[in-house]
């Protein structure tokens, strides 16, 4: 099989829907054999779609923020396919839009557990397997434009994604001379399972034309558009890209134009 990921084995988390599912289908078309993880049973549907299209995929229902589950994904890649070349730590949760005064320590911690500890666990386990394998590799983490500056997410979500961006930078340095690269993708508003309430609300109100209007392209992204960037970072085409956070947001982060929310007051 030919393709940009021919001969490579890739792990993708959050593969049950959205960016993860789009990336799984694209990576498979480009020749990768896959180990797919998600907290929902939808991951098995993604794997079936890959296999029906002629690809190879193993699916596991896991929690991407648990050490043992991430280790299980890496072990499955080595057991089923004998190597690991790509890890896409894509799973994440929004945590809602509660303000700083309304968040609880438990809700804040849960967002950090999935969104930040999860990618760190992938770097830890997948990175170690790649180093031990001596083949190098690429680790891609899903961050967000909300992690670049304020205005694109709630406090917990934004803090977790800022952490992912810095994690990619630190990990790239600590994996120096191993041949393992670590980068982050920073999506803007994308139509996925996580953002479905926003899109459903807009449909109910008849204002879908207003979605994504804050960015210069004046629209939201589709999962395939993020998957294309993940593919680039996973492939050897990005062999000199390391420790970077790439915004894929229609230009939103060039200014982040938003109204300011004063705590306890109306927006001005």
Question: Active-site residue numbers?
Answer: 157
- How many other CB atoms are there within 10 angstroms of residue 229's CB atom? 20
Name the phi and psi angles at 225, rounded to 5: -70, -30
Residue 5 tokens, joined? 């990921």
| Alpha-carbon gap, residue 107 to 57, rounded angstroms | 33
127: CB partners within 8 A, 6+ apart: 87, 137, 139, 171, 175, 178, 180, 182
Placement of tokens 């970077």 in the chain:
244
Q: Which residues contact 162 (CB under 8 A, 6 or more apart)?
A: 143, 146, 147, 148
Cβ 167 vs Cβ 123: under 8 Å: yes
Angle between helices 223-234 and 18-29 (to 10 degrees): 50
Residue 187 in contact with residue 248, Cβ under 8 Å? yes
- Taking the CB of residue 98, how many other CB atoms lie within 10 A of it? 14
């Amino acid at each position: 099989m030919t393709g940009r990921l021919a001969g490579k084995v890739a792990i993708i988390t959050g593969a049950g829907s959205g960016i993860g599912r789009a990336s799984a289908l694209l990576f498979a078309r480009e020749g990768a054999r896959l180990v797919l993880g998600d907290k929902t049973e939808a991951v098995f549907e993604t794997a079936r779609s890959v296999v029906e299209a002629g690809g190879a995929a193993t699916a596991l229902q896991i929690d991407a923020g648990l050490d043992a589950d991430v280790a299980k994904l890496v072990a499955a890649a080595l057991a089923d396919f004998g190597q690991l070349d790509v890890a896409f730590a894509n799973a994440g949760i929004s945590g809602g839009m509660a303000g700083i005064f309304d968040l609880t320590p438990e809700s804040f911690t849960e967002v950090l557990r999935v969104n930040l500890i999860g990618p760190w666990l992938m770097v830890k386990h997948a990175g170690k397997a790649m180093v031990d394998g001596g083949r190098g590799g690429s680790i891609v983490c899903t961050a967000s434009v909300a992690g670049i500056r304020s205005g694109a997410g709630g406090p917990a979500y934004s803090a977790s994604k800022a952490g992912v961006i810095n994690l990619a930078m630190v990990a790239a340095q600590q994996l120096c001379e191993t041949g393992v690269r670590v980068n982050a993708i920073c999506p803007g508003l994308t139509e996925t399972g996580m953002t479905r309430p926003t899109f459903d609300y807009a449909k109910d109100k008849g204002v879908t034309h207003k979605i994504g209007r804050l960015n210069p392209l004046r629209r939201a992204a589709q999962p395939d558009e993020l998957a294309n960037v993940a593919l680039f970072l996973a492939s050897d085409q990005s062999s000199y890209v390391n420790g970077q956070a790439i915004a894929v947001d229609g230009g939103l982060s060039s200014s982040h134009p938003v109204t300011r929310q004063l705590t306890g007051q109306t927006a001005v």
